Amino acid sequence: MGNHQNIMKKIKKALISVSDKRNLKNLLKILTKNRIELISSGGTYKEIKKLNFKCLEVSEYTNSPEILGGRVKTLHPKIHAGILSKRKNESHKKDLKNNNFEEIDIVIVNFYPFEKTLEQTNSHLKIIENIDVGGPTMVRAAAKNYNDVTVITSPGQYDELIEEIKKYKGSTSLGFREKMSLEAFAETAYYDAVISNYFNKIKKVNFPSKKVIYGNLIKKLRYGENPHQESAIYSKKNNLNIEQIHGKRLSYNNYNDIFSALTISRSLPKNTGTVIVKHANPCGVSIHKNNLKSYKMALACDPVSAFGGIVSCNFKVNKSLATELNKIFLEVIVAEGFDSESLKILKKRKNLRLVDARKFIMSDSVKFNSVNSSILAQSEDLRKFSIKDFKVVSKNKPTKSQLKNLIFAFNVCRYVKSNAIVLASDKTTVGIGSGQPSRLDSCQIAIDKMNKFQNLSEDVVAASDAFFPFVDGIEKLVQSGISAVIQPSGSIRDKDIIKFANQTNTVLIFSKTRHFRH
């Protein structure tokens, strides 16, 4: 019993200072019912009085006025000694007594809305004023002293606190205080991370000496890439900017594929284009102006791989497209919304996941890859191509249509796992070779896919994500009927490649940038 008493802590005095003033009433009811004295400041003090509860203002409690326009109010020894004193430590007790300080048993604080301020204004001065100092200081003090003090950092924790106080008749258990402390340190760390990242962003420092990655848990996933792996998805925001409107829960692999598909979709012309992805690789892309046709053409690129894949439409899905989409087994359909007729058709499949990505925007933030305690960081490969990025190096010049197809193929190519070869015709991929250690093998796979699934009367062009180290790669493409090739320059054999292109009357374009994706 004695031990039980040690871990229970009676709450006599509460300090409340909240930026988010929602749901205070129920909390104040239970605190005053248990004869807990309330101390507060500023807007929170006014709110508590407005709700008709008794409360002492911080400046009255400390006998020290709020100064510097409210910048200094809770930063006072009486407050912090009350929070930080160890209740069983004789010297601490003596210090409190000598200074006429009292113990504070619970700290209920949430911070100035720094993140919200970033969304609402670009004014650096306003943003700076929303960096909370007193709040995190009290929270850290209370969290450090969780053995004796309870810390509450979010309205989402009020119900749990209320239950705890009811259960233990005005006390809290050590287990609860530990849990709240852990959440409090996550809160202060997250808050400081957002501030740190803001300063790095405005100073354009992508790779600071200390990199802090932060995120909100969106949800724990059933498992990772495989059932024996654990997994969760986080976001810097409180949401992913994509909304699942039907179907089974999304898995780790689904999310991976959805983000791969959206990355490609967002690089295509607005409201145009269909992308089909399997295992994070595109297996068909088309930017045909007619939406229904673009899906059919993307599917025709590799209908076998598309089975069980993900389709991303850069436009709103309608009835006629939904009817086509329903003909094969798909895991996920991502679109810029679905009309009511299409939903009737697609929702007949209970497990088919439908995702509305209207709000999804590709940001140019840094991309991470981690192993053990190491993190690789790089900027995203999102630059929009323009004619200036390319140079025609062959005697034979491309037609307008060839040039469009070459740039389209090269754009898709950068989202295909390396080594990557993309064959295209009529603004649609007709063969994709991905993820091979040998570029020659990727050429062969792309050609085989084209010969297997296509019956082409149109001109076919090829894109490579990096230079051909030898003539054999481009030779294989030309022998299979390719009329034009786009590739990054930079090989010591570039001259041999140009010579071969000229001998075979092939159009050859060099890109100034390389586009590996591993």
DSSP 292-312: HHHHHHHHHH-HHHHTTEEEE
- Which amino acid is present at 153? T
State the span(s) of the chain assigned CATH 3.40.140.20.
241-356, 387-511
User: Are residues 497 and 476 in contact, defined by beta-carbon separation less than 8 angstroms?
Assistant: no
CA separation for the pair 24, 8 (Å, rounded): 24
CA separation for the pair 31, 36 (Å, rounded): 5
Residue 3 has what pLDDT? 43
CATH (residue range 387-511) = 3.40.140.20
First-to-final CA distance of the chain: 60
H helical segments located in 108-157: 114-120, 124-129, 134-144
Q: Give me 506's structure tokens.
A: 């092939």
CATH (residue range 2-202) = 3.40.50.1380
User: Are residues 19 and 112 in contact, defined by beta-carbon separation less than 8 angstroms?
Assistant: yes
Segments in the chain below pLDDT 70: 1-6, 457
Residue 95 has what pLDDT? 83
CATH (residue range 241-356) = 3.40.140.20
Helix (H, G, I), strand (E, B) or coil at 163: helix
CA separation for the pair 462, 482 (Å, rounded): 7
Mind listing the pLDDT tens digit for each residue in 115-155? 888 888 889 988 998 888 889 999 999 999 999 999 999 99
* C-alpha distances in Å from residue 207, one per residue of 300, 362, 376, 517: 43, 20, 11, 21
Helix (H, G, I), strand (E, B) or coil at 351: coil
User: Are residues 350 and 285 in contact, defined by beta-carbon separation less than 8 angstroms?
Assistant: no
DSSP per-residue letters across 17-40: EES--TTHHHHHHHHHHTT-EEEE
Q: Just list the catalytic residues.
A: 144, 279
Tell the residue number behind the tokens 């967002």, with chain if given. 266
Residue 274 has what pLDDT? 97
- DSSP H or E segment with residue 311: strand 309-313
Query: Which of 434-439's residues contact partners 24+ apart within 8 Å by CB, and which partners?
Result: 434/281, 435/281, 439/464, 439/466, 439/468, 439/469, 439/473
Which pTM does this prediction carry?
A: 0.86
Mind listing the pLDDT tens digit for each residue in 274-290? 999 999 999 999 999 99
Residue 349 has what pLDDT? 93
CA separation for the pair 304, 81 (Å, rounded): 69
* C-alpha distances in Å from residue 517, one per residue of 140, 153, 466: 42, 42, 10
Residue 408: burial class (beta carbons within 10 Å; 0-12, 13-18, 19+) = buried
77-84 and 90-99 helices, crossing angle to 10°: 160
What string of H, E and C letters represents the secondary structure of 9-23? Answer: EECCEEEEEECCCCC
DSSP 338: B
Residue 2 has what pLDDT? 39
User: Are residues 486 and 465 in contact, defined by beta-carbon separation less than 8 angstroms?
Assistant: no
Average pLDDT for the chain: 91
Residue 132 has what pLDDT? 86
* C-alpha distances in Å from residue 307, one per residue of 274, 300, 323: 15, 12, 16
